Chains A and B, each alone.
Chain A
Amino acid sequence: DADVTQTPRNRITKTGKRIMLECSQTKGHDRMYWYRQDPGLGLQLIYYSFDVKDINKGEISDGYSVSRQAQAKFSLSLESAIPNQTALYFCATSASGGQEQFFGPGTRLTVL
């Protein structure tokens, strides 16, 4: 079984809809991250969380919100989706003090 899972894997939605992307991990890591990947831009950090009670904005948090429901779960919400949020979204985890991040398989989101 995969250590970091994301649901859904693909989603097509319309402008103005609320969307939630979910991430679960079985690695026992405290830290979780949400990234966005656009062609030619690498990965940009949206939000990160050190633990259940510690959530921080990343480089591009506008238009997004997150919830850390448990150590193992970290969800990303788009309150009112817009077309330029069409992208590939990745969740990642790392151990406290660790440098390596472990990535989920990604969610491809299309906003029409």
Chain B
Amino acid sequence: GDSVTQMEGPVTLSEEAFLTINCTYTATGYPSLFWYVQYPGEGLQLLLKATKADDKGSNKGFEATYRKETTSFHLEKGSVQVSDSAVYFCALSASSRSARQLTFGSGTQLTVLP
């Protein structure tokens, strides 16, 4: 079945550091890939997405590139801020599923220190 494997956390960085959170996936067909972010006390919200190979999703300084050859969708940001502290979830939506269900990774807690 479909699955998403995320880099385990927690991750602690200093402000302005470079961030990478690794995500790899297993899926049949050609899935769409997502990064969701969960700020403390809130629900998940979509951060960025990519729907086909080599697409790059970007938002709020975060980027991720859909790499079909390595089945990866790593999240990067060049300079993190304290306000980026949150839990980040990688997810996929398999094209073979009419329900458009999302399969989530386990989440990575990011803490950015001033």
The yes or no answer to A112 lying at the interface (CB within 8 A) is no
A104 CB contacts on chain B under 8 angstroms: 43
Q: Which residue of B lies closest to A97 (CB)?
A: B100
Q: Which secondary structure dominates chain B's binding surface?
A: strand
Is B32 close to A, CB under 8 A? Answer: yes
Number of A-B contacts (CB under 8 A): 56
Q: Given that A40-B106, A42-B89, A99-B49 are known contacts, is A50 also in contact with B99, CB under 8 Å in the complex?
A: yes
Q: Would A99 and B89 be within 8 Å (CB), given that A42-B107, A90-B44, A106-B43 are in contact? A: no
Counting CB contacts under 8 A, is A103 at the interface?
Answer: yes
8 Å CB contacts to A: which residues of B72-114? 89, 93, 99-102, 104-107
CA distance A15 to B106 in the complex (A): 27
Q: Could you say which of A31, A44, A48, A90 contacts B43, with CB atoms under 8 Å apart?
A: A90
| B43→A105 contact, CB < 8 A | yes
Query: Is B106 a contact partner of A31 (Cβ separation < 8 A)?
Result: no
Contact of A4 among B6, B43, B89, B104 (CB under 8 A): B43
Given A4-B43, A42-B89, A90-B43, decide whether A101 and B99 contact each other with a Cβ distance below 8 A.
no
Interchain CB contact under 8 A, B106 and A42: yes
- CB-nearest residue of chain A relative to B9? A40
Chain A nearest CB, measured from B111 CB (Å) = 15
A43 and B89 contacting across the interface, CB-CB below 8 Å: yes
Q: In the complex where A42-B89, A42-B107, A43-B89 touch, is A101 in contact with B102 (Cβ < 8 A)?
A: yes
Please tell me if B59 contacts chain A, counting CB pairs below 8 Å. Answer: no
Q: Which 6 A-B pairs have the closest CB atoms?
A: A103-B43, A42-B104, A42-B106, A103-B44, A43-B104, A99-B93
Q: Could you tell me which B residues sit within 8 Å of A by CB distance?
A: 4, 6, 32, 34, 36, 41-46, 49, 51, 89, 93, 99-102, 104-107
| 22 residue pairs from A and B, CB less than 8 Å apart | A4-B43, A31-B99, A40-B106, A40-B107, A44-B104, A45-B101, A48-B99, A90-B43, A92-B43, A94-B100, A97-B100, A98-B100, A99-B49, A99-B93, A99-B100, A100-B46, A103-B36, A103-B43, A103-B44, A105-B41, A106-B42, A106-B43
